[in-house]
Structure 1
Amino acid sequence: METNLPEAAVVTLLETSDVHGHFYPTDYRGPEDKPLGLAKLSSIIRKERAGNPSLLLLDNGDLLQGTPFMYHYAKYGGEGIHPAARALKALRYDAAVPGNHEFNYGLDLLRGAIRDSPCPWLSANIVEEESGRPAFGLPYRVFATPEGIRIAVLGVTTHYIPNWEDPAHIRGLAFEDALDAARRWVAYIRGNERPDAVVVCYHGGFERDPATGAATEPLTGENQGYEMCRTLEGVDVLLTGHQHRLLAGEVNGVAIAQPGSAGQAIAKVQLEFGKAEDGGWAIRRKTAEWLPVEESTPADREFLSLFAEDERKTQEWLDQPIGTAEGDLSIPDPFAARQADHAFTEFVNRVQMEVTDAEISCAAIFTNEARGFKERITMRDVVSNYIYPNTLKVVALTGRDIRDALERNARYFALDERTGGLRVSPSYMEPKPQHFNYDMWEGIEYELDISKPEGQRVVKLLRNGAPLDPDAVFEVAMNSYRAGGGGNFDMIQGKPVVREIPTDMTEILADYILERRVIRAACDHNWKVVY
């Protein structure tokens, strides 16, 4: 009896990750069209879909947060189905995985987006605290291609979320170790579903260099991709994210991929199958690559039309003037602004201290795109400089804790042997830029000497002109991410939270400016970096 079934077939996996609300090809700082965003990825997806029925499109998390577009929808009464759910439907996604930033606006918004999505959100290791059941429905799903090939996709998320997130946003949830959960579920899938391939879609990254195996970060458990490739039995593909890296290749026989962030690329993995002796399918070859958005990649206008009214309201809100600046609050050179006290960071710290009534404060210039304030201050200026939905916490730290935190900050810098000056330490640039993990402090006087060995760089530490008592306890205002020890600030993690302000810092800054209307630049030059 003859059959029309093919003897070979190819299954294509496309992965987006860390889109962070970038639907439009813009960074919202200006009108320029940028090579990023889901609308441009849509053009690539359409091309890949053409004539290819054996294709799975997966999102790997951090979709709901990251742009003023998403912030405005979440905070100012966005109407109708969540934009993320609309996007998943329009682009015909097969599954999504929650990322750590999915929780930033609370569980009600997240559950609403999941409820309205046409595809499942797969989460094996985020479970209900009481029952232990997967919190968002399915841990995995098995997809069948027209050729009858069965692809199992398992979703897991970094279990480090409780170290960063507002406890109110994850109440009732438990976060199981991602590696342990993946091991348990892969064994279950292999034993019960008999798939032809197993794909782990992991919102997490690599704790070691994929090529050499050398450790690239402290082994905290935040990222476990390398260990997954090394120890999980029965996994064919590991799709990753969280670190905003561009990766494609193979580790220990497992095809790996990671597509950067903000829609700058899409990951593509192809699995070539042939007929096995038992009549089933067997993988013959795996290839992984990432497809970048080019300057010439067109934005999908049909896709963008679905969000036109939301975008119009966002842009209108961003252009609202809220105050004026007297004096210079601009940041022409972020690297220089991180080497000595600057009027803009002093402003942020002073707001944090005033709002919380704390005696000391620390804050960061989050990215090298931050430009501070010009004379006319708009909402666009606020959200362009303060890009994360952090709240404020006041933490009780000893003088010794503060010194240790400053030593951690001092690792941001390295001596440039070529120029004799300073540069950003490679550990703060790879696997992704981490300018947000360098804080500048107010309420103390200090000096960091980068010519000294790491751990001995705080050469001056005073409060009100006197040496800071290492045993005295001080109330320090900081963002909620740092208060949880985020950025490997172990000396802060677990310290008593004296009080907190459960309002986004962008709102705090905007309200502060709206109330005063005029912000005067000031700088007391309480710290500097030398070398």
Structure 2
Amino acid sequence: MSESKAVFALTLLETSDVHGNILPIHYANNKPSEVGLAKIATLIRREREQNEHVIVIDNGDLVQGTPLAYHHARLDSESPNPMVACLNELGYDAAVIGNHEFNYGKDFLQKAVKESNFPWLSAGLLNAGSGEPFFGKPYIVKTFPDGPKVAVIGLTTHYIPHWENPDHIQGLVFEDALAAVKRWIQYVRDNERPDVIVVSYHGGFERDLTTGEPTEPLTGENQGYAICKEVPGVDVLLTGHQHRSIEGVRIDGVTVVQPGVAGATLGKVRIKLEKRDGAWVVAEKSSELIPVEGVQADQAILDIAKEHEAKAQVWLDQPIGKLKGDMLVRDPMATRLKDNPLIEFINKVQMEISGAPISNTALFDNISPGFPPDITMRDIVSNYIYPNTLQVIRISGQDMKDALERSASYFKQYDGGPIEVSPDFTTPKPQHYNYDMWEGIEYTINISRPVGERVVELTVNGKPIDPSAEYDVVMNNYRAGGGGNYLMFQGKPVVRDIPTDVAELLATYIMEKGTIEATCNNNWKVIHD
């Protein structure tokens, strides 16, 4: 074959937002689930058998998210990190730092990085002292014999300080992701002269992929659209963070992909290059998602997880207390329409532990089962699924009203039919965790009214809230930092910080009490005309 007709086929494989899912099970009941690295592994090995030139990247949020991951981090962290061990087994080329990588602290993350047989990338995470990349490598270059040179730049959403425990990110500077990739892509082009440039960004899209219309407040949390539009020279943008399933999409010539959450799909990008006048040129690109549904789990990955899983399962089934009454979640929508014992219990524990007179929390997803009569650790982590801590912040009455209006926008405006969730809370990913329910105040939400005008009653101890008065409220650290577009909470004075996981606080509370009782004071409700 003459040089002018030389062709090279490159395959990029991406996982993102695996969130500690190794095994294909649902931990609330140990039933099978079509997720996890064990199934992803089978797909990766198959792709390597079918394609000669493969690069495999994890795009972040790997080490947190399941009871197995929690047990390892909190109770067995001296052992090798099981998620890292899986990626080592599969010969990943690199991983990107995600926001949840910081949830268990910097020491835990640095141990995971040290155990990895691959580099962790993030061009915008800088050492506060030196200004150099904190984790050593902002990018990798892979040169194929008789083939092209491929550069992969890692990038992390810089919005992390709005959510994370400050102790976990001390000494780090989070550079604007868009600015960071502009700077590093120029460096890579000038110094490495690659034939293909891939950006692996633990972040998503802030605009509609087709129209370019904003789909969220332009806070900088997600800048994928801007990267495609404003950064010249990007061939492929691997994305994540939003838990979306994106395939077959191109923005300004940039091929994009995003493989959902929990290892339900494997992202795949095919690139065909041709050699023209002595240089490799990208001729064709496409992206797709490969589902793990029906795929056999890989035995080597199952073996890696086996010991960790056995320890986690014993821990999960430890009885910690008893419940008098009913705290089961039978209908998630009903739980969000009027006060109920499960949410009231979590709020009251937060109030008792923190000393704050007002609290808010959420039903994080639609599979939270509630508590049975005999409560185990499995029940705790099945309902409180995030490693949040607590903060008491001081807010104004107006802030409280604004926050309740933000929560009230969770519902579509009522039109006489079934009550429905607003697309703003379901698209591009479900955000049930951004609908808060409060204790310590009395309020009524009318979903027949327009967004922003739905809080029709708001009192504390029977008296109307004073918009200019100050109130101490306990909430999780994600919300206290303004997470979920609760911008009214950003920068508020922190009255008290409780740096213990809420799941641990709930478990300790139940163990100390022995028996808890389901109560409901009906301090709030959602109505319609």
Bucket of the pairwise TM-score, normalised by the shorter protein: over 0.9
Does residue 90 of the first structure (1) align with residue 67 of the second (2)? no
1:313-345 deviation digits (Å, cap 9, x = unpaired): 000000111111101111101111001001000
Does residue 446 of the first structure (1) align with residue 449 of the second (2)? no
1:298-326 deviation digits (Å, cap 9, x = unpaired): 11122110121110000000011111110
Q: Specify the alignment match of 2:361 in structure 1.
A: 363
Q: Is the 8 A contact 1:6 1:147 kept in 2?
A: no
3-state DSSP class of the match of 1:305? Answer: helix
1:380-408 deviation digits (Å, cap 9, x = unpaired): 00000000000010000111111111011
Q: Specify the alignment match of 2:221 in structure 1.
A: 222
Does residue 258 of the first structure (1) align with residue 258 of the second (2)? yes
Counterparts in 2 of 1:374-413, with a 5 A limit?
374-413=372-411
1:416: Cα distance to partner? 5.2
3-state DSSP class of the match of 1:307? Answer: helix
Counterparts in 2 of 1:515-526, with a 5 A limit?
515-526=512-523
Q: Is the 8 A contact 1:447 1:461 kept in 2?
A: yes
Counterparts in 2 of 1:59-78, with a 5 A limit?
59-78=58-77
Q: Specify the alignment match of 2:412 in structure 1.
A: 414
1:46: Cα distance to partner? 0.8
Q: Specify the alignment match of 1:304 in structure 2.
A: 302
Q: What residue identity is the alignment partner of 2:257?
A: A
3-state DSSP class of the match of 1:221? Answer: coil
1:79: Cα distance to partner? 3.5
Q: Is the 8 A contact 1:97 1:201 kept in 2?
A: yes
CA distance in 2, matches of 1:365, 1:515: 24
1:31: Cα distance to partner? 2.2
Q: Is the 8 A contact 2:413 2:449 kept in 1?
A: no
Q: What residue identity is the alignment partner of 2:395?
A: L
Q: Specify the alignment match of 1:124 in structure 2.
A: 123
Q: Is the 8 A contact 1:204 1:224 kept in 2?
A: yes
Q: Specify the alignment match of 1:512 in structure 2.
A: 509
In structure 1, the gaps of 5 or more residues are none
1:143-186 deviation digits (Å, cap 9, x = unpaired): 01233210000000000000000000000000000000001111
Q: Specify the alignment match of 1:270 in structure 2.
A: 270
3-state DSSP class of the match of 2:443? Answer: strand
CA distance in 1, matches of 2:31, 2:418: 33
1:293: Cα distance to partner? 1.2
Q: Specify the alignment match of 1:344 in structure 2.
A: 342
CA distance in 2, matches of 1:201, 1:479: 29
Does residue 471 of the first structure (1) align with residue 465 of the second (2)? no
1:102-134 deviation digits (Å, cap 9, x = unpaired): 000000010010011000011100000111000
Q: Is the 8 A contact 1:356 1:394 kept in 2?
A: yes
CA distance in 2, matches of 1:128, 1:411: 39
Q: Is the 8 A contact 2:3 2:276 kept in 1?
A: no
Q: Specify the alignment match of 2:492 in structure 1.
A: 495
Q: What is the aligned counterpart of 1:482 among 479, 482, 485? A: 479
1:260-316 deviation digits (Å, cap 9, x = unpaired): 000000100011000111x1210000011111111x211112211012111000000
Does residue 433 of the first structure (1) align with residue 430 of the second (2)? yes
1:527: Cα distance to partner? 0.4
Q: What residue identity is the alignment partner of 1:383?
A: V
1:52: Cα distance to partner? 2.3
Q: TM-score when scaled to structure 2?
A: 0.98
CA distance in 1, matches of 2:436, 2:401: 13
CA distance in 2, matches of 1:361, 1:485: 15
Q: What residue identity is the alignment partner of 1:520?
A: E
3-state DSSP class of the match of 2:285? Answer: strand
Q: What residue identity is the alignment partner of 2:491?
A: G
Q: Is the 8 A contact 1:334 1:371 kept in 2?
A: no
Structure 1 residues 51 and 6, CA gap change in structure 2 (3 angstroms): farther
CA distance in 2, matches of 1:303, 1:402: 48
3-state DSSP class of the match of 1:388? Answer: coil
1:6: Cα distance to partner? 7.5
In structure 2, the gaps of 5 or more residues are none
1:220: Cα distance to partner? 0.6
Q: TM-score when scaled to structure 1?
A: 0.98
Q: Is the 8 A contact 2:162 2:481 kept in 1?
A: yes
Q: Specify the alignment match of 2:106 in structure 1.
A: 107
CA distance in 2, matches of 1:6, 1:454: 60
3-state DSSP class of the match of 1:485? Answer: coil
3-state DSSP class of the match of 1:523? Answer: coil
Q: Specify the alignment match of 2:39 in structure 1.
A: 40
CA distance in 1, matches of 2:320, 2:522: 27
Q: What is the aligned counterpart of 2:453 among 435, 443, 456? A: 456
3-state DSSP class of the match of 2:282? Answer: strand
CA distance in 2, matches of 1:78, 1:233: 42
Q: Is the 8 A contact 1:21 1:65 kept in 2?
A: yes
Q: Is the 8 A contact 2:413 2:450 kept in 1?
A: no
Give the 4+ runs in structure 1 shifted more than 3 A. 2-6
CA distance in 1, matches of 2:300, 2:114: 24
Q: What residue identity is the alignment partner of 1:387?
A: I
Q: What residue identity is the alignment partner of 1:345?
A: I
1:39-84 deviation digits (Å, cap 9, x = unpaired): 0011111110004231000000000100000100010023332112
3-state DSSP class of the match of 2:121? Answer: coil
1:480-500 deviation digits (Å, cap 9, x = unpaired): 000000011111111000001
3-state DSSP class of the match of 1:451? Answer: coil
CA distance in 1, matches of 2:3, 2:209: 41
1:439: Cα distance to partner? 0.4
CA distance in 2, matches of 1:411, 1:122: 37
Q: Is the 8 A contact 1:54 1:146 kept in 2?
A: no
CA distance in 2, matches of 1:413, 1:3: 63
Identity %: 54
3-state DSSP class of the match of 2:30? Answer: coil
The count of corresponding residues between Structure 1 and Structure 2 is 527
1:5: Cα distance to partner? 11
Counterparts in 2 of 1:65-214, with a 5 A limit?
65-214=64-213
3-state DSSP class of the match of 1:414? Answer: coil
CA distance in 1, matches of 2:466, 2:128: 42
- Range moving further from structure 2, 48-57 or 268-277: 48-57
Q: Is the 8 A contact 1:393 1:500 kept in 2?
A: yes
3-state DSSP class of the match of 1:424? Answer: coil
CA distance in 1, matches of 2:26, 2:142: 35
CA distance in 1, matches of 2:125, 2:385: 26
Q: What residue identity is the alignment partner of 2:128?
A: E
Q: Specify the alignment match of 1:233 in structure 2.
A: 232
3-state DSSP class of the match of 1:152? Answer: strand
